[in-house]
Amino acid sequence: MAQNKPEILAKAKAWLTDIFDEDTQKEINNLIENDPKELEESFYKNAAFGTGGMRGIMGVGTNRINKYTLGKNTQGLSNLLKTEFKGEKLKVAIAYDCRNNSKELAQMVAEVFSANEIEVYLFSELRPTPELSFAVKFLDCHAGIVLTASHNPPEYNGYKVYWQDGGQLVPPQDTKLVDIINKLEYNEVNFKAKPEFIHKIDSEVDKAFQEASVENGSFNTSSSAKNNLKIVFTSLHGTACKTNPQILEKAGYKNVFLVEEQKEPNGNFPTVKSPNPEEPEALKMALDLAEEKNADIVIGTDPDGDRLGVAVRDLNGKMILLNGNQTMLMMTWFLLEKHKEQNKLSKNSFVASTIVSTPMLKNITESYGAQYHEVLTGFKWIAKLIKDNPGLDFVGGGEESFGYMVGDFVRDKDAATATLLACEIAAQMKAKGSSFYEQLLQLYTEHGLYREELTSLVKKGIEGEAEIKQMLVDLRENPWKEIDAEKVVLIEDYHTSKANNLQERIEEEINIPKSNVLIYYTENGTKIAARPSGTEPKIKFYFSVNSQLDKVEDFNTENAKLADKIQRIKNELQLG
């Protein structure tokens, strides 16, 4: 049997003191005696903040999500707030999703804030992440927390931190917080709750959020068009069941069919392998219901209700799941079109997306005379862009991983308002004798046909982390010179903030924050990005290829050619 490593054993034994409760100590003793491998995984490092806050497997130890690691985060945030907002009466909002232990962890977080005499506004029941972002601004809070692990497997949970603008934590506050947390000892966490500082919130915020979603997501769709649209919705056992059907009803959509088996929140996600609307398998029950009801559109959301998958009927009437880029293209086009019709479009209007999303979004945005801005992966960077540019008018923005934000009343990806927006598009297109899908193909004829795919290589544990680091090292030291017989002409390294133009032999600065991302561009516009996930044990490769599409009828042929091209590239680069 494997032996416990001395340095791991020392870290584990530090938890066998009166600071930690009996159950925690009992579990650690069990790992020491019976499971050296799991003990090492639990203690070999401190769980860290990624692009979406802290996310990890629940359990005992410094590398796990538990009351002590999250308590330390909360004590650190309390200390930071007192430094950043000296003399102010501090307020925070807290929400939690459907995951196992989310409610209990949210209560514990509230208690630590209260122990630090910070006023806490805690949702009385689970709520979607975008409503927490809204609540921070609506209640004039200094910060917000949501307990969630997005679409990760059931054993995960997480902790996302929001600042007073409703956006997730960004520099310089994020690095300040990490420094404070790292210097804290567990015995410095104040768990002695002061209940008078904890206030429960529910219907008042719900009403305001739902009304704001209807206002921002509605675009003069006629009653007849709404009545003529059949919608299937599933929350995949998540929190969106508390908001999205209600928003659709308030907006006037009556033909909404819910997947009954997935309607109730459940942290074990019993009907799906993964509660991720990016995966067609997760939406199978919804797609089956769509056939039964002859629905026009299917929408599924992830457990915390911030991202959505959209399926629509193709030219042959078959229901297909769009990828995140396609949904984002349609939503952005529609918003730009409506802003133009309402004379709200100006040179200060802007759309935002991320460096790993489709290049086609820039083409569409600039065709309307609006500005296009690109940021690192994660909606916190889009929120920061809005905050840093008060003179600009944010139209909408998204990323390839099935997230979209309509306007800036919420400063995070918002599947509630985006669900309504998708239905507005589908209803108006159908009323014109077209369809959501047909309009997407029309955009391809006007702006170029782009096809994107994502490959994720899962590398778990200590060895996996080292493997991912080495893959990026290898890519930097031995860069690809040619991809599918196309010369590489540009390499962007966001870790060094350098863009190396190989054709002109010019090196330029990249003026956005550093991140461990590499992007290759070829002479024909092929784009490949390599990026380690900030919240999951995987490295992601994003592929984008393009060609011209002369007419809609040629789509299947041209799209198949691009699919073949991506497969050739994957084979050539040995990426599956």
By annotation, the residues acting in catalysis are: 150
- Preceding peptide of 172 cis, ω within 30°: yes
What's the Rg (C-alpha) of the chain? 24
CA gap 200, 196 in Å, rounded: 11
Question: Phi and psi dihedrals of 191, rounded to 5?
Answer: -95, 0
Structure tokens at 169: 């934590």
3-state secondary structure of 38: helix
> What's at 444, amino acid-wise?
Y
DSSP per residue, 74-105:
HHHHHHHHHHHTTTS--EEEEEE-SSTTHHHH
DSSP per residue, 127-196:
--HHHHHHHHHHTT-SEEEEE--TTS-TTEEEEEEEETTSSBP-TTHHHHHHHHHHH--GGG------GG
- The residues, any chain, with a CB within 8 Å of residue 289's CB and separated by 6 or more, are 232, 257, 259, 295, 298
> Given the DSSP bridges, would you call strands 198-201 and 119-123 parallel, antiparallel or unpaired?
parallel
- The residues, any chain, with a CB within 8 Å of residue 443's CB and separated by 6 or more, are 329, 330, 333, 360, 364
Secondary structure of the chain: what % helix, strand, coil (to 5)? 40, 25, 35
3-state secondary structure of 296: coil
Question: Phi and psi dihedrals of 295, rounded to 5?
Answer: -75, 155
CA gap 33, 36 in Å, rounded: 8
- The residues, any chain, with a CB within 8 Å of residue 209's CB and separated by 6 or more, are 130, 131, 134, 135, 138, 243, 416
